[in-house]
Structure 1
Amino acid sequence: MLVQRLGAPSDFDPLLERARDARIVMLGEATHGSHDYYRLRGELTRRLIAEGGFSFVAVEGDWPDCDRVHRSVTADPDAAVEPRAALERFERWPTWMWANAEVARFCRWLREWNGQRPEPERVGFHGLDVYSLWESMQAIFDYLGEEAPGTLDAAQDAYRCFEPYGRRIEEYGAASRFVSARCEDEVVCLLARIREHAASDGADAFSAWQNAEVVTGAERYYRAMVGGGPESWNVRDHHMADTLDRLLDRYGPGARGVVWAHNTHIGDARATDMAADGMVNLGQLARDRYGRDDVVLVGFGSHRGTVVAAPHWGSPAEKMIVPPAREGSVERRLHDLLPEQAVLVFGGADQPDWVTEPLDHRAIGVVYNPSSESWGNYQPTRLGERYDGFVWCDEATALDPLPARGARGELETYPAGV
């Protein structure tokens, strides 16, 4: 194991060396609301793009919202000139995950970087998540209305099937326990029709295909959610992994991707208690599909600080105090051993016991109650198996949300809010 104090961008060199030949680098976060994670993740990603030739950034966000950002950073003539304007259009709660000043700064850099390159070499920005059923349906209507109006019937059938549930799409999940209420056939038909057109080249055709995949994934997700347990989580992470696969294919031979998502998604589930609960995640699936040498998983963590989160699902975001990590946790051990900021690269035979043995590892979602630290927010983890590297910030500070429009949100994910 190698430990490097962080102070300058060059201090990431050991981690960049580990990622030099990887096809996928996943960069995590222990919260969805800490400035330091987003800032350091942005620094790492800029170097991966500039020095490693990575092709795109894929985030734990909705495809339609992120597609507007993608069009801005790649200088589409019909898109916003300033990426911040695209980020401020995010509507689904919790908007601050991506509509924040830290992401806006990174996207502004990415637009400037892309502006110096020919269109085929520009680096994209895409969403991996499964939630945007209605937004993706609307995007499909817009695309078919322009490109293939004769195929609108399949989209209309799918829309009519979901329409009785309106924005309360979770009610579809409850109704789907009765076979006659399911929309599965309609969305499969829609996906098949869109795939026919996606065979033609072009960003719009690919985006329409991905929106149809989102509708299909969302239908499965809401049906699984009713049953409780891990299945809806697994549907969601399989969808994100499949989207990543499609992006790598879309960008062509030699394509390389950077993923931004919560530690709970990118850290291999088999090194936690998630596996015993029947759960898989994005990092595990990527390792299985591409091999451990081609996938680098990087976790993030801190001992204390502040965070942007909400006390209840759907409520306004607040700046909250993150108390010191509890005794016996990864974070308490790192607080005792490491400087204020450091990067760890795992590997070799001389790893200490706190890297190889299970210790509690903190995870904070978009819903957070600091008083629950005594019993919640921690997951048993073998750190050196879950990640290939780890970025440490002893004290992390809250990020700066943009004034986004959002108020709508989905039901809480399993486990809560990550």
Structure 2
Amino acid sequence: MLFFITSIAYCQDSEIKQYIKENSIRIDTLTDDNYLRNFEKFSDILKSKKVIGLGEATHGTHEFFQYKYYLLRYLVEMCQVKNFGIEANYTECRVVNDYILYSKGNIENAISGLHFWTWDTKEVLTMVKWMHDYNRQMLPNKKLKFYGFDLQYDEMARDSICKKIKILDSAYFYAHFKMLLKIDFKTSKSDTSFFNRYIKCHSLLDSLKGYISTKRIDLSETFNSDQITSLFADIRLIEECLEVNMLLAKGNALEASHLRDKFMCENIRSIVESTPNSKIVIWAHNGHISKVEPHMGFYLKETFGTSYYAIGFDFNGGRFRAIDPITHQLVTFYIKNSKSGSSGNFFSNIKIGNFFIDLDKAENADGATSRFFNKSISQLSIGAVFFKNNDRRYYLEQSLYQQFDGLFFIDKTTPSIAIK
């Protein structure tokens, strides 16, 4: 009986592996010279999509970033994508957008100003410089735009709001809103003192919105449409930051994380609504683009339906960067191979190297293949922090298809490269 069951399992594995061999898109080492050829089949998969989510199984892997960069280039050139969004603050990303649109500022300083070591890399720098150079050749209505959709920091948004209100009426600002210059909308842990501050912050924001509603004519005469849009977006960012931090103050870190994902979806929706005929590529961790409730991708799928396509990333082993929670240093870690029974281990044993598989198509395949992509399976999922020699705590048990519409697999990885 055991031999019979083992034989069935072997046959099913062979069927799945054969399907992947026949239906996957093999990916060579990507270069400026070959990325169009590598991604030429993606047009049929993605041309009708309005929001394309690009994930990552770690925040510090060179190949994940490189694939996303070249896929963005392909989608811009071949599928009319004009907008890019990243898991970083809306306000800070405007500085990057000013660089790619108008050549303003120092791009390395702009990227480091996004607050996250994860994006302060040569891979992201290469992508942003390419966006800048691409825009120099394009008419204004064809240029790329760079957005942030996260909400974790309020300081720059507050400063931007204060500058605009002072331009409108400096005396009124100092009489009624100068608290914006110093009040702290954030907390990092359970903090009962935050409750009173929360009430003050809410009252201040309500007063600010009431004031602005009476100044619409003055706003239109003083600022252009982009500056007015930014003002309202900055206020909304602070409101979102406040609500998430209220949950943190109550000790509800998991609920705060879920609310952050919901707000990020709302911010992406606002970007799409402001550019109704454009498509957007969004860059975030697998855990955010995932279609599983209550992740950001779940809300995006609810909002955009089949026009949202989530692409996850998986790997077998290799090197990556993350924060060591013991030393609090950013270091390079190494995982030799994924554990037996994991998706990374299974894909590696097919022996076809790096590839992409369309899970929407695979989910509708016959028999064992459909069951494989629908069943729960272990996958490596590593965020900004990693405990050395304890990689088994970083496996997520979930169906690949429930999370993603498509998946890149990379057998062996190398670490992302810091700008400085």
Indicate which of 332, 351, 354 corresponds to 1:319.
Answer: 332
Query: Residues 100-124 of structure 1: CA distance to partner in whole angstroms, max 9, x if unpaired?
Result: 1001101111011111112232111
Counterpart check, 1:254 vs 2:270: no
Contact 2:335 2:391 in 1 (8 A): no
Unmatched runs of 5 consecutive residues or more in structure 2: 1-18, 29-33
Contact 1:137 1:215 in 2 (8 A): yes
Which residue of 1 is the match for residue 150 of structure 2? Answer: 129
Indicate which of 173, 178, 183 corresponds to 1:156.
Answer: 178
Contact 1:12 1:343 in 2 (8 A): no
Which residue of 1 is the match for residue 136 of structure 2? Answer: 115
Indicate which of 379, 395, 401 corresponds to 1:378.
Answer: 395
Which residue of 2 is the match for residue 233 of structure 1? Answer: 257
**Pair 88,223 (structure 1): closer, same or farther in 2 beyond 3 Å:** closer
Counterpart check, 1:265 vs 2:278: no
Which residue of 1 is the match for residue 297 of structure 2? Answer: 283
State how many pairs are aligned. 381
SS at match of 1:204: helix
Query: Residues 237-281 of structure 1: CA distance to partner in whole angstroms, max 9, x if unpaired?
Result: 121111111111222x312111000000001124xxxxxxxxx11
Query: Residues 357-393 of structure 1: CA distance to partner in whole angstroms, max 9, x if unpaired?
Result: 100111111111132223x111111112211110111
SS at match of 1:51: helix
Contact 2:198 2:242 in 1 (8 A): no
**Pair 368,45 (structure 1): closer, same or farther in 2 beyond 3 Å:** same
Matches within 5 A, 1:286-301: 286-291=300-305, 293-301=306-314
**Pair 338,24 (structure 1): closer, same or farther in 2 beyond 3 Å:** farther
SS at match of 1:355: helix
Matched to 1:261, the amino acid is A
**Pair 4,184 (structure 1): closer, same or farther in 2 beyond 3 Å:** same
Query: Residues 302-323 of structure 1: CA distance to partner in whole angstroms, max 9, x if unpaired?
Result: 1111111111299331112133
Matched to 1:35, the amino acid is H
Matched to 1:284, the amino acid is F
Matches within 5 A, 1:38-49: 38-49=65-76
**Pair 171,384 (structure 1): closer, same or farther in 2 beyond 3 Å:** closer
SS at match of 1:302: strand
Which residue of 2 is the match for residue 203 of structure 1? Answer: 226
The CA deviation at 1:158 is: 4.3
CA distance in 1, matches of 2:27, 2:372: 21
SS at match of 1:364: coil
Bigger drift between 19-28 and 149-158 goes to: 149-158
Unmatched runs of 5 consecutive residues or more in structure 1: 271-279, 404-418
CA distance in 1, matches of 2:282, 2:61: 17
The CA deviation at 1:333 is: 1.2
SS at match of 1:61: strand
The CA deviation at 1:233 is: 1.2
Which residue of 2 is the match for residue 3 of structure 1? Answer: 24
The CA deviation at 1:173 is: 5.0
Which residue of 2 is the match for residue 83 of structure 1? Answer: 107
The CA deviation at 1:179 is: 8.4
Which residue of 1 is the match for residue 411 of structure 2? Answer: 394
The CA deviation at 1:154 is: 5.9
Query: Residues 170-191 of structure 1: CA distance to partner in whole angstroms, max 9, x if unpaired?
Result: 3695324458855223224334
Matched to 1:12, the amino acid is F
The CA deviation at 1:129 is: 0.8
SS at match of 1:186: helix
Q: What's the TM-score, normalizing by structure 2? A: 0.83
Bigger drift between 303-312 and 348-357 goes to: 348-357
Which residue of 2 is the match for residue 28 of structure 1? Answer: 55
Counting helix residues as a fraction of each chain, which structure ranks higher?
2
**Pair 371,248 (structure 1): closer, same or farther in 2 beyond 3 Å:** same
Bigger drift between 256-265 and 236-245 goes to: 236-245
- Percent identity among equivalent residues? 17
**Pair 399,327 (structure 1): closer, same or farther in 2 beyond 3 Å:** same
SS at match of 1:269: coil
Contact 1:31 1:262 in 2 (8 A): yes
SS at match of 2:349: helix
Contact 1:24 1:258 in 2 (8 A): yes
CA distance in 2, matches of 1:183, 1:44: 42
Contact 2:311 2:408 in 1 (8 A): yes
Counterpart check, 1:18 vs 2:31: no
The CA deviation at 1:229 is: 5.0
Contact 1:133 1:215 in 2 (8 A): yes
RMSD: 2.5
CA distance in 2, matches of 1:117, 1:151: 42
Q: What's the TM-score, normalizing by structure 1? A: 0.84
Query: Residues 132-191 of structure 1: CA distance to partner in whole angstroms, max 9, x if unpaired?
Result: 11221112112323355466366434455x34x8xx733695324458855223224334
